[in-house]
Amino acid sequence: MKNEQDITNHILSLADRCVKCGLCLPQCPTYALTENENESPRGRIALIQGWLTGQLKPSEKLMNHLDQCLLCRRCERVCPSAVPYGEIIDRAKNLLKENRSTSFYTGIKQLSLKTLMNKKFSSPLINGLRFLQKSGGLFLLRKSQLGKLLGLQPYLEILPELDKPFKPEHFYPAITTKQGEVALFTGCLSGSFDSKTVEASIRLLTRLGYDVHIPPQQGCCGALHMHDGNQKQAVNFANHNIQSFNPLKNIKTVISLVNACTSQLKEYPGLNTSDSFSTEVKDIIEFLSEVDWPENITMIPLNKTVALQIPCSLQNSLRAEEKLITLLQRIPGISLPPDAIYNKCCGAAGTYFVNFPETSDKLKLQALDKLTKSQPDLIISSNLGCALQLKAGLKQQNNKAEVIHPVLLLEQQLKLI
């Protein structure tokens, strides 16, 4: 697509697949909360069609309806016409962004996002946050009005306890009979916000017989930028990551540790990148559920009560929720009855918790109401953003349940004979 008219025609061709049947309505979190047609998938598609055909002006009100979509893509699971709703919204927001003014608060949020996603700046920022956290400075900032005035309160609420960041080596050899070589995509925040899962993933993969490569040049997957309407930056990130991984030889798979990142990596071919990954991309949940496990590996029975949160990206984009359940069933003693599984949006949705905190909080409470009903010791979540959202909610409720990544749980229960 070379120009704006080509992009417009492409979006309209995708949107015209929607027959407005309404099967998406019961699936949409924002429609369920508001019962407003403008806050439904078919309503948003109609707004986009109206704008692109000249019936509606590209107003702030129209943009706000698009922004309030969580992009959970639950609607895509039930659509009889296979409407690519996520692509329609992303491309429409990118087209609208060029004509949209930015408020002071939005500018602060966007600057914070760009800083966190850029490794050159994120490391000193996170070190500073860690110092403020340990010294009590962040506690005072939360209690004062300064965080609210700067529009940073949602970030402060969801920020986890920051341990010393994990800085991986470039290569980890298999410690059992070698099955192959893989490359690990760790993203931009996992090393600081979920270092235990990164370390556990490396240990588990090497124990299963895989050499693990971690290209140090890799960066942000670009998902948050793409969903914010900044396709140009998303493409830049995509090209950078492809160039970081492709020089690796004999790689079987590029494995991503965060469901949302995996979804974005798999959709790079639709971004008109200068190149493509030379090997397949899989989420670590997909990979671990599909490969053979050595016979000498057994699992220690789990004697804790668990609940399972299935992230939207794993379920609606990757369509791999059953693989997650199958993988967890490797652990003896684990019980996952339907009442302990939550498969709707938790409200994190990238930076949605910052932009629309009230809606995000409502969805977070719905998720926690279901997940904590059985008073679990552990709540399992395979997506970093969802895990941080749930941890923040549990902390607000003074609930001591631990939120844990399934790979970390598997590695903890691992027993070598």
Mean pLDDT on 248-260 = 92
* DSSP-based three-state secondary structure for 139: helix
The domain made up of 171-290 has a fold known as Glutathione S-transferase Yfyf (Class Pi); Chain A, domain 2 (1.20.1050)
Mean pLDDT on 18-36 = 94
Domain ranges of the chain: 4-97, 104-158, 171-290, 297-416
The C-alpha atoms of residue 158 and residue 1 are separated, in whole angstroms, by: 39
Q: Is this model's pTM higher than 0.85 or not?
A: yes
Query: Which H/E stretch holds residue 200?
Result: helix 195-207
Residue 181 has pLDDT above 90, yes or no: yes
- Say which CATH architecture domain 4-97 belongs to: Orthogonal Bundle (1.10)
What confidence tier does 270 reach under pLDDT thresholds 50, 70, 90?
A: confident
- Angle value at C-alpha 45, between 43 and 48, nearest 5 degrees: 110
Domains 171-290 and 297-416 belong to one CATH topology: no
- Say which CATH architecture domain 297-416 belongs to: 3-Layer(aba) Sandwich (3.40)
Token pair 């996170």 in the structure block, residue: 126
Token pair 């990954």 in the structure block, residue: 277
pLDDT per position as a tens digit, 106-148: 555 556 656 665 666 566 666 666 656 566 656 566 666 655 5
3-state SS string over 293-316? Answer: CCCCEEECCCCCCEEEECCHHHHH
- How many CB atoms sit inside 10 A of residue 178's CB? 12
